[in-house]
Structure formats: structure tokens, C-alpha cells
């Protein structure tokens, strides 16, 4: 009861909750560390054995997929499986109409926050005297078929399983709202750069909410694939059209932002998240989560990567 009222919980309580959060944090840290290690070692070996190979788009695509969703994903699964999962939430899949509204909200939040981020990165570029590299631009060099496979299949399946299934479900006993915001924060930091951090957090909130209210992971996977399909399928098709293509994309962005703003309060009222019902007060939940060793190391590594993109 002390934790619920905001008072300092008993030491044994703090220790148990800290260990729980720390295990989740170490899973995320291990994910990123394994991914970076594989990328560093393989890139260095390729540069020595075949100097032209690291510049090949197919090699870069394979390295990205195998390091991130192969080595990194495997480490995450191995570590997180030791954290007990609560009983699954009741299944309440969204109907087609509601799923479409949530999809529009996903697009609108992504585009709105991305526009703000692009403006912010422009300012940072002016202050440092050089434009800030956006890692998303590197994907343009990949063959379109591989981009579609990555963006519409591999990334949605793996990222939703990790962040909206395994991580979100294990944070949910501390309150649905905390689980939603904490998982979205981790999802944003996982990208390792400020160009993607903010809109990844925003879309992570919508996808996490969809996972919580539906109780089914396939719906966030479908939404995630639909978001990525715009950039991997629609954008390459309309770009060659020139001005008409740009007008179509601008209409899509503006329409998604406006409709998303309309749908947001309606969806929020239709399925509100329950009030905080975790074993600790919200303040102590966040404090123990952020100060646990595993989470702190994950946050530090992520922020160092984000800062490196600005140098």
C-alpha cells in the first residue's frame, strides 16, 4: 500500500521490482550490444577480405537484418524468457472500421512528429555547420524488393513481437499506462538516432494502445506493416511521377494528420486505459524502472548512439 500512496516501499519490495525491471533492461541492452557487435565485426572483416563488399546494398541489407533481427533478436529472446509473463489479456480484436481509424492515426502521428523532427534536425544542422544524416535515407539504396520484405514483413513481425508482445506484456502488471509509455520510450531509443526517435515513440504509443485494447499481436503487426508500406511501396511508385506524385504524397500526409487529429479523441474515449493499478505508485514505478541497472545501461547506450549521429 505504501508504494501506491507514493511513499517509499520496503527495501525488499524495491529490490524485487528493481531486479524485474533490470532483467528487461538487460534484454534490451543485449539486443543493441549484439547488433552493434555483429555489425562492427562483420563490416571490419568484409573490409579486409573484400574491400568493395561493405558498399554493396545487398550486403548492407543482409548485415542490417541478420545483426538486428538475427543476433540481436536472439539475445533478447534468450534473456527475456527468464522474466515471468503475466496471463494474456482478454482478446478483443478491433473490427475493420476501427482498425482503419487506428491506421490513419498511426500515419498521422508519424507524419506530424516526423515533420517536427525534420525541422529540429535542420536547426541542429545549421548550428553544427553540416546536415544531420538520416539513417532512413540509407535504405533508398536497397533493392525495392528487399526494402518491401524488410519494411512490410521482417521489421513489423520482429519489432511487434519484441516491443508490443514480450516487453509490453511484462510491463503491464505495473499498470497499462506505464507499460504503454515505457515500451514506447524503449522503442524510440532502440532506433539509436534522433531522426527516428520521436516519431518511433509516437507510433509506439498508438501500436502499444492497439495491442493493449485488442489483446492480439497480429493487429499491431498489420498496422506496422501498413505504415511501412507507404515508404517502401507507395513512395517509390509515385516519386517518378514528379509534381503530381509530390502533390499526392502531400495530400496523403495532410489528410492523415487532419483525420488522425479527429480520430484520436474518439478512439481514446471509446477504449480508455484503466487507472494505475500497479504494485507501486506511478512515481516509484518510473523511478525503479529508470534506475534499475539493466534499464540504465540500455538508456545510456541508446543515448550515446543518438548523440553519435549528431557529431
Tell me if 5 is assigned to some domain: no
pLDDT of residue 2: 44
pLDDT of residue 91: 86
d(CA 261, CA 4) in angstroms, rounded, equals 34
pLDDT of residue 88: 82
Tell me if 3 is assigned to some domain: no
Tell me if 297 is assigned to some domain: yes
Pair 278, 5: CB distance under 8 Å? no
pLDDT of residue 6: 61
How many structural domains comprise the chain?
1
pLDDT of residue 34: 97
Cβ contacts of 222 within 8 Å, gap of 6 or more: 99, 156
How many helices and strands (H and E) does the chain possess? 15, 0
pLDDT of residue 85: 85
Tell me if 210 is assigned to some domain: yes
Tell me if 86 is assigned to some domain: yes
Tell me if 4 is assigned to some domain: no
pLDDT of residue 137: 80
Helix (H, G, I), strand (E, B) or coil at 83: coil
Tell me if 17 is assigned to some domain: yes
Q: Which parts of the chain sit beneath pLDDT 70? A: 1-6
Cα–Cα distance list, 25 to 42, 49, 186 (Å): 26, 36, 9
Tell me if 1 is assigned to some domain: no
d(CA 135, CA 42) in angstroms, rounded, equals 19
Which residues span the domain enclosing 95? Answer: 11-310
Pair 306, 194: CB distance under 8 Å? yes
Pair 189, 299: CB distance under 8 Å? yes
208-245 residue pLDDT tens: 999 999 999 999 999 999 999 999 999 888 888 888 88
Cα–Cα distance list, 172 to 20, 34, 89, 202, 280 (Å): 12, 26, 10, 19, 12
Amino acid at each position: 500500500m505504501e508504494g501506491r500512496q507514493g511513499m517509499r516501499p520496503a527495501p525488499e519490495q524495491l529490490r524485487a521490482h528493481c531486479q524485474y525491471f533490470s532483467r528487461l533492461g538487460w534484454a534490451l541492452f543485449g539486443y543493441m550490444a549484439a547488433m552493434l557487435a555483429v555489425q562492427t565485426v562483420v563490416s571490419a572483416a568484409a573490409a579486409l577480405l573484400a574491400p568493395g563488399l561493405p558498399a554493396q546494398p545487398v550486403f548492407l541489407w543482409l548485415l542490417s537484418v541478420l545483426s538486428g533481427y538475427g543476433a540481436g533478436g536472439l539475445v533478447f529472446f534468450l534473456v527475456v524468457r527468464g522474466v515471468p509473463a503475466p496471463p494474456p489479456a482478454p482478446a478483443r480484436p478491433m473490427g475493420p472500421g476501427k482498425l482503419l481509424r487506428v491506421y490513419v492515426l498511426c500515419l498521422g502521428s508519424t507524419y506530424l512528429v516526423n515533420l517536427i523532427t525534420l525541422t529540429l534536425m535542420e536547426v541542429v544542422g545549421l548550428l553544427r555547420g553540416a546536415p544531420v544524416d538520416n539513417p532512413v535515407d540509407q535504405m533508398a539504396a536497397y533493392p525495392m524488393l528487399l526494402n518491401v520484405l524488410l519494411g512490410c514483413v521482417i521489421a513489423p513481425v520482429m519489432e511487434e513481437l519484441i516491443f508490443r508482445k514480450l516487453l509490453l506484456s511484462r510491463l503491464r502488471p505495473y499498470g497499462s499506462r506505464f507499460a504503454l509509455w515505457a515500451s514506447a520510450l524503449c522503442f524510440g531509443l532502440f532506433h539509436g538516432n534522433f531522426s527516428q526517435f520521436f516519431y518511433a515513440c509516437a507510433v509506439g504509443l498508438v501500436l502499444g494502445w492497439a495491442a493493449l485494447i485488442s489483446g492480439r499481436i497480429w493487429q499491431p503487426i498489420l498496422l506496422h506493416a501498413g505504415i511501412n508500406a507507404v515508404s517502401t511501396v507507395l513512395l517509390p511508385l509515385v516519386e517518378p511521377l514528379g509534381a503530381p506524385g509530390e502533390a499526392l504524397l502531400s495530400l496523403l500526409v495532410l489528410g492523415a494528420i487532419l483525420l488522425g487529429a479527429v480520430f484520436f479523441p474518439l478512439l481514446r474515449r471509446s477504449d480508455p486505459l484503466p487507472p494505475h493499478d500497479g504494485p507501486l505508485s506511478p512515481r516509484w514505478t518510473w523511478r525503479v524502472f529508470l534506475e534499475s541497472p539493466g534499464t540504465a545501461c540500455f538508456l545510456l547506450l541508446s543515448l550515446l548512439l543518438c548523440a553519435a549521429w549528431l557529431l
